[in-house]
């Protein structure tokens, strides 16, 4: 008998904002003791839940959702205000490059694009919340820009400042190791506010939008590297929202969502349908930490009841999601013909 596949999914970014990190997960293994939900008895249980699993990393957030929901991706993702930028048609935007350089530059968009553009898929992940985007971006590596300005000896810090006044400093070695990029397109669409800074595997606070100035400097003490809150390590989210949907026995439900841990590789996605008493683990081998892990899990319903699926991620260094994601769904008996 052919199974009835049910796949209900809200928009990628919207669901991420709504459901990510909503429930704490039970992590009974390897000394973790965080509860999934204290009201486990209200749900039907399935021990050692099994299903069909696969993952991908090139699923991207649509450009219009990146622009509209996150403002211009980065700082809005971490709860900064969504400033409005009034730009006229055909306006030429410039980025000033200065500080401890021998040849200061003022670069137009055309100048930047002429420094060796690259197109790749990268994620932008918030350090303090669940928000995340995975996008195909086009831009120029910061290392290419250095060839234009001739840094003074001892330069160890770079500061990015946006037209909204937002400014962030980071060690120059860190920016170069992470291959920081001046980005001007997302999904082939020009960024409405000009140029952004994207720093692969770094927290979104470094992703400066509407870039105005890049300043190099020689500091006695380089800035500390910003890292994610412990609660956002191995972040995971279920993207499905079922609302009033009722499934029937025999339906196959395809759940999907993402997992990410900044510069750490996601090693496995794990599922529980008995309140965290048992977990079924599915390996995610050879993943690229520059991108999110977008997972799919198809479960075939076996009996009527109300169920809760909990999902957590596990990283290469053994970190388990301190905040899991959960979804509740109802299964009814098949109606008699």
Cβ proximity of 83 and 208 under 8 Å: no
Q: State the pLDDT at residue 176.
A: 98
Q: State the pLDDT at residue 243.
A: 85
Q: What residues of the chain score a pLDDT lower than 50?
A: 1-35, 37-38, 69-70, 72-90
Tally of CA atoms within 13 A in the half-sphere of 225 that contains its CB: 14
Domains (range + CATH), the chain: 4-59+229-332 (2.60.40.650), 63-217 (3.90.420.10)
The 10 Å CB-count burial string (b at 16+, else e) for 80-99 is eeebeeeeeeeeebbbebeb
Q: State the pLDDT at residue 68.
A: 52
Q: State the pLDDT at residue 26.
A: 27
Q: State the pLDDT at residue 41.
A: 53
Q: State the pLDDT at residue 24.
A: 26
């Amino acid at each position: 008998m052919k199974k009835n596949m049910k796949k209900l999914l809200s928009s990628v970014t919207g669901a991420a904002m709504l459901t990510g990190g909503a429930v704490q997960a039970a992590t009974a293994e390897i000394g973790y003791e965080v509860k999934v939900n204290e009201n486990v008895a209200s749900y039907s249980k399935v021990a050692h839940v099994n299903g069909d699993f696969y993952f991908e990393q090139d699923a991207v957030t649509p450009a219009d959702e990146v622009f509209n929901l996150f403002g211009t991706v980065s700082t809005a993702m971490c709860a900064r205000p969504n400033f409005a930028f009034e730009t006229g048609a055909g306006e030429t935007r410039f980025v000033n490059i200065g500080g401890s350089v021998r040849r200061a530059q003022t670069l137009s968009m055309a100048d930047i694009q002429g420094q060796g553009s690259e197109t790749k898929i990268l994620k932008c992940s918030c350090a303090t919340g669940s928000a995340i985007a995975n996008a195909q971006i086009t831009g120029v590596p910061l290392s290419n820009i250095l060839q234009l300005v001739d840094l003074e000896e001892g330069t160890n810090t770079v500061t990015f400042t946006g037209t909204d006044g937002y400014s962030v400093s980071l060690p120059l070695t860190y920016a170069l190791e992470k291959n920081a990029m001046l980005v001007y397109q997302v999904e082939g669409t020009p960024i409405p506010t000009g140029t952004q800074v994207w720093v692969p595997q770094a927290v979104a606070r470094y992703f400066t939008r509407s870039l105005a100035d890049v300043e190099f400097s020689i500091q006695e003490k380089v800035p500390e590297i910003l890292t994610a809150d412990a609660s956002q390590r191995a972040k995971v989210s279920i993207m499905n929202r079922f609302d009033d949907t009722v499934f029937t026995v025999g339906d196959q439900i395809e759940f999907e969502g993402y997992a990410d841990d900044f510069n750490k590789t996601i090693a496995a996605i794990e599922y529980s349908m008995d309140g965290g008493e048992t977990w079924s683990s599915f390996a995610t081998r050879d993943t690229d930490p520059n991108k999110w892990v977008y997972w799919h899990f198809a479960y075939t319903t076996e009996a009527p009841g109300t169920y809760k699926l909990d999902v957590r991620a596990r990283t290469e260094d053994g970190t388990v999601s301190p905040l899991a994601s959960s979804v509740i769904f109802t299964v009814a008996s098949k109606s008699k013909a």
